[in-house]
Amino acid sequence: MNKLANMRHWSERMGPNFGMSRPNMPMNPPRRDPMPPQAASIPMPQPLDLPANTIVHYAFNVPFSSDIAGPNTEDILHATKDAVLRWTHSVDAPDDVPVFELPAHAQNLALLRKTCKDITDGPFNIEAHVISTSPKNAKGNQVTTVCLSGTQEMVQKTREMILNDHQTFLRCTTVDVDGNLICDLSSKAPALNPQVTNTLDGISEYCGVDIFLLGPSLTPVVDGVTGDSELRRDQRWRVAIYGDILSVEHAKTRVLIHIDTLLGRLVDAVKLDMSLHQVICGRQRKNIKLIESSTGTAIYFPSPFSQMYRYCPPNAKRRDPNDILITGDTPQAIELAKQKIHDTVTRIRLYIKDVNIPAAKVDSIILNRLDKVRKILEANGTFVLFPTLAAGKSMVRVQGNEGLHVERTVREIMSLAGQFYSASWFLLPPEGHQMARQLPSPDDIRTLLGDVCANSDADVSFDNNFLLSGSDDSVKTALMVMSDIPFLVQGNHQIRVKIELANEHREFVSGKKNGKINKIMSQSNVTIIFDGFNDYNFNIDVGAANYDAMKQGLALVEQEMPASISFHVPDQYHKRIIGIGGQHIQSIMKKHSVFVKFSNAMDRGGLGRDDDDIKVDNVICRTPARNAQNLDAVKNEILEMVDRADSEYTTQVVHVDRLYHRQLLARLNEIDQLENKYNCKIVFPSTEQASDEVTINGPQWQVPHCMDELLGMVTDKHELVLARSTDLVNFLQSPAFVRDLVSKLKSQYEVEVSVHQDHKEQGEDGSPPPVSLLFSFTRNNAGGLRDAVDFLLSRMTTAGLEVTIIKGSIPRPKSDSFEESLQYFDSKLLQHAPTPIATDSPVKAAFEGEVARERSTIFDKLRKPGSMSSISSFLDRRKNSSNSANGNFFKGSSNVSKSSLISIESSRSFNADRNPWNDSGVNLTEEDHPWAPRPMGNGGGGGDSKLGPHYHHYHHPNAGDMTPRHSARTSGDSGRPSTSHSTNSGYPGPLGPFR
């Protein structure tokens, strides 16, 4: 990830006197900067101080997450009260009914409409109107916009109430559970365990969520060192939880604890102040994983964002944010875990820092970037206290046990704030007149604000002038929509856009002697001011007299914004890459017009502070966004001088059953040795996350070997069921099988075979009980299972046995692409490949035939009378997938891809007190890199509003920001990689590597 050191603080202001024309009267230049020339004077209006009774119009989108679909009815085995009615369509509903018309989403919208009607009819002199639309750029999703009209104070309080008292931020999370814990699948009449269903119903009522018990799904399994990913049917069932974000996390934790109780574990709790939870967990939860591994316990922490939302479902209970739940096998293990947590707390020395972030940007971070904030907290082991959503407060507190980690967290939070723009559209009086122009009616203003907000996802307010806030793409889209309204563009107006950027990038953007900024102002007729300096960021204020000039000037400014890429190179290679006197790295920098900076261990705080610092991104390449395509070329040239064993760092994800993580953590010493052997880092997910994904980070040539040895610690099994016969039983009891075949399978295929016979059990049709062969192996040797089965069956055939496979056969794969054409040739010499039959193999998925029928008969018995359909039907539906999740180990690192070329994310891996960027960056030649501003988007439409013929119904295919309420829209910015959640951009990769 990207980390830039701090540059010297710039407090000077670059005002409208910076230009390309003749200098004005002398003035004292700030510091040692030369006096810049004067630009054409463009008025820069200042926001007005409104009287307390001034009517303000405000429009914002409500994050209902109406794109969340309910479960497939054929998968449902059990549902809590009224859950099916809320999250499934009626039987007579058409097939193409949109997701946002689900009863759950329709109910939320109806409650919001009722609330806004009550507010309008109330005694508070405020109007609230709800607009529900489906813009073209939302791709079929519904957007709900609320328009408020009243005094500034009442508008703010009403917005806070709407966002905190309604079920927004809907989520769906899934927990995997072994089917044998819920139902006795071995019995002839299987039925759901009443204790489990009653517990799920109780959790649903207590937490205010809807819970479904669903059947198994297809999951990928990685086969050994080759990395081949093959689909198999997961034998675990799924518990799907629907509700608001905090209630879902609360219910998920309770479901996980109930699963632990079904496994025979005890439950206890300890209270600790919420602000200390992340601190005691440590970076990448290292401290808490050590406690869990040494005590054999599982520790569940509450959400670190409990203070941000006030909403609680009716008749439900919120989880105490100070409760830490612990499960263990014995009371002694739980007490030992409590003692270790207490000892960790007593050793903590807290460092606290408060920073101010504009209230609008605080709300935007809470609404759109909480996943990024969570990764920042886990990476640095710190806690961030945000104010309540829409509270209008700007103070954010960060605390941790080391000042360096607190500083890193603050810088990364401030970089998130830089991903959001603010803009103003000032309505100026006509020339020669002192009075303002005639404004439209309040109804027309509300209609205007609602359309702009719905089509751009930016918050828009009007108090004699228009104010906009939101992500970069959404603000630019809102300006584009407003530029199509004749009322706004026909009269005199002024547009201003504020971009927040880290202080260390000030010289990079302005250029030597402010050359870049002067050139932009002369080319696009805009005024650029650098102001709003604080300890971390400053504002680039771009002003223009019309939209076209603003679009061009903003595009040019964004093209000068720094694009960066970072990666890891071991410190011992730095001197070789830099060369004598820096000649080699200077030639690379000059060749590609990219600035390269190296950071060693001392720059990151010294050796011995944390072993994880060895693997941080310590090389950063930076260039203007218009030259971002050369960053990968520079990275490749640098990595060519690194030995293969220390080549580019990459990340690989391995799927291991989450309950098996506890057994792996018990072997933490072996895992540490494995990490040191291959110079890799193995990261387990948090306990409350309940994820199967184990992340391995390291050199791309070492990660496969590390992954292979890790999978060697994970055991797996496969059952082959054969029809009983006397000859088969004699063969399995013969000395040749016990001495020779079993040992050969172990030595040649790394597979152990054991025979299981049940003489009492009879088949369903009265036939003799079958014989089961259990193959045990480790996950890295899963590829040898098919060969082992084929070898055993061939030996049985040689012995003259006629074997009938009831369950567990493994079909051979197709040999080549010509096999399908053999059916057209009538030749006895050409034999067709056998048709794949059913299998439960963890290596290949072929869910047809007998196995499907067998499982269907099991779950047919579970179906309740009068239910919507046969429960077993979920096992009859088969899904084909051609995707290979882990098919290639040797691809580029996910955290150094082009999507991570964002300057505001480049505040990683360097000491905050150093100043590596003491230059204005790299100035590109115009011949090689012409100024080519990209359009911000396209607009169009028509309407018959009083405000203009092009007011209603806009189509903007190339602009916008993806949020949980909208589908992705392609960014239309200046070429600087977007900071929004667009399809080709976003927060760059995982927030590691500070672990």
Q: Count of CB atoms within 10 A of residue 217's CB?
A: 16
Given the candidates 3.30.1370.10, 3.40.920.10, 3.90.1150.10, 3.40.50.970, the CATH classification of the domain at 649-713 is 3.30.1370.10
Residue 767 structure tokens? 């036939």
Strands 693-699 and 681-683: antiparallel
Q: 940 by DSSP, 3-state: which?
A: coil
Q: Which of 249-253, 387-391, 664-668, 952-956 has the lowest mean pLDDT?
A: 952-956
User: Which residues does 428 contact at the CB level (< 8 Å), separation at least 6?
Assistant: 43, 45, 491, 492, 493, 494
pLDDT at residue 752 is higher than 50: yes
More confident residue, 165 or 439: 165
The CATH 3.30.310.210 domain(s) of the chain lie at 420-430+437-562
Strand-pair category, 383-385 with 56-61:
unpaired
Distance CA 362, CA 387 (A): 8
**Tokens coding 124:** 């508070």
Residues of the chain with CATH 3.30.1370.10: 265-348, 565-640, 649-713
CA angle at residue 292 from 286 to 295, to 5 degrees?
A: 140
Q: Please give the class, per CATH, of domain 565-640.
A: alpha beta
Mean pLDDT taken over the chain? 77
In angstroms, the Cα distances linking 885 to 219, 489, 653, 698 are 10, 51, 9, 19
- Across 39-57, average pLDDT: 55
End-to-end, the C-alpha distance of the chain in Å comes to 12
Contacts 24+ apart (CB under 8 A), 322-325: 322/271, 322/272, 322/273, 322/274, 323/269, 323/270, 323/271, 324/269, 324/270, 324/271, 324/272, 324/277, 324/299, 324/300, 325/253, 325/257, 325/267, 325/268, 325/269, 325/299, 325/300
Name the strand (E) or helix (H) holding 351: strand 351-356
- pLDDT at residue 43 in the model: 45
- CB contact at 8 A, 301 and 378: no
Type of residue found at 440 = P
Which DSSP symbol is given to 325? E
CB atoms within 10 A of CB 335: 15
Higher pLDDT, 25 or 523: 523
The pLDDT of residue 455 is above 50: yes
Residue whose pair of structure tokens reads 């760059």 in the numeric block? 988
CA distance 775 to 938: 62
- Say what percent of the chain tops pLDDT 70: 70
Amino acid identity for residue 607 in this structure:
L
Q: Is the pLDDT of residue 47 over 50?
A: no
Find the angle CA(683)-CA(250)-CA(221) to the nearest 5 degrees.
Answer: 40
Q: What is the pLDDT of residues 127-136, one digit of tens each?
A: 999 999 887 6
The 10s digit of each residue's pLDDT in 258-308 is 999 999 999 999 999 999 999 999 998 989 999 999 999 999 999 999 888
CB atoms near residue 988 (< 10 Å): 26
Tell me what pLDDT residue 356 has: 94
Q: Is residue 630 pLDDT above 80, yes or no?
A: yes
The pair of three-digit structure tokens given for residue 279, joined into one six-digit string: 């601190």
Structure tokens at 114: 């009722």
Helix (H) or strand (E) holding 241: strand 236-244
| Mean pLDDT for the stretch of residues 35-46 | 40
- Lowest-pLDDT range of 358-362, 612-616, 697-701: 612-616
* pLDDT reading at 228 higher than 90: no
How confident is the model over 870-907, as pLDDT tens digits? 343 443 443 333 343 444 433 333 333 333 333 333 33
Quick check: 693 pLDDT over 60?
yes
Helix ranges, 140-225 (H): 152-165, 179-182, 194-207
pTM, entire model: 0.77
Q: Which of 38-52, 190-204, 814-828, 880-894 has the lowest mean pLDDT?
A: 880-894
- Asked whether residue 991 carries a pLDDT value surpassing 60, the answer given is no
**Chain-centroid distance, C-alpha 128:** 33
875 vs 889: CA distance, rounded Å: 32
Q: What is the pLDDT of residue 50?
A: 47
Distance CA(777)–CA(764), nearest Å, equals 31
Question: In terms of C-beta density within 10 A (0-12 exposed, 13-18 middle, 19 or more buried), how is residue 188 classed?
Answer: exposed
Alpha-carbon radius of gyration of the chain? 32
* Residue 328 token pair: 């263990």
Token digits of residue 716: 């797996």
- CA 951/CA 945 separation, integer angstroms: 6
Which range has highest mean pLDDT (705-714, 823-832, 858-867)? 705-714
Q: What is the pLDDT of residue 926?
A: 45
pLDDT of residue 220: 52
Instruction: Write b or e for each residue in 835-862: b if 16 or more Cβ atoms lie within 10 A of its Cβ, otherwise e.
Output: ebebbbbbbbbbbeeebbebbbebbeeb
The answer to whether residues 458 and 469 touch, using CB atoms and an 8 Å cutoff, is yes
CATH number, domain 715-807: 3.30.70
Mean pLDDT of 830-852: 42
Q: How far apart are CA 927 and CA 449, in angstroms?
A: 44
Do 80 and 211 meet the contact criterion of CB atoms below 8 Å apart?
yes
The CATH code of the domain at 420-430+437-562 is 3.30.310.210
**pLDDT tens, residue by residue, 542-584:** 999 999 999 999 999 999 999 999 988 888 899 999 999 999 9
Q: Average pLDDT of 247-252?
A: 96
pLDDT digits over 111-156, tens only? 999 999 999 998 888 999 999 988 766 566 889 999 999 999 999 9
Minimum mean pLDDT among 513-517, 584-588, 615-619, 848-852: which range?
A: 848-852
Bridge partners (DSSP) listed for residue 426: 494
933 — pLDDT class (breaks 50, 70, 90)? very low
Residues 6+ apart with CB under 8 A from 563: 622, 623, 624, 625, 627, 628, 631, 901, 902, 903, 976, 977
Q: pLDDT grade, residue 12 (50/70/90)?
A: very low
Q: Which residue, among 911, 3, 5, 14, has the nearest Cα to 538 in the 3D structure?
A: 14
CATH of 265-348, one of 3.40.220.10, 3.30.1360.70, 3.40.250.10, 3.30.1370.10: 3.30.1370.10
Give residue 761's pLDDT: 53
Among candidates 759, 758, 791, which has minimal Cα distance to 775? 791
Helices within 471-595 (DSSP H only): 472-482, 486-490, 506-510, 515-524, 547-560, 574-578, 583-592
- Residues 229-246 have a mean pLDDT of 78
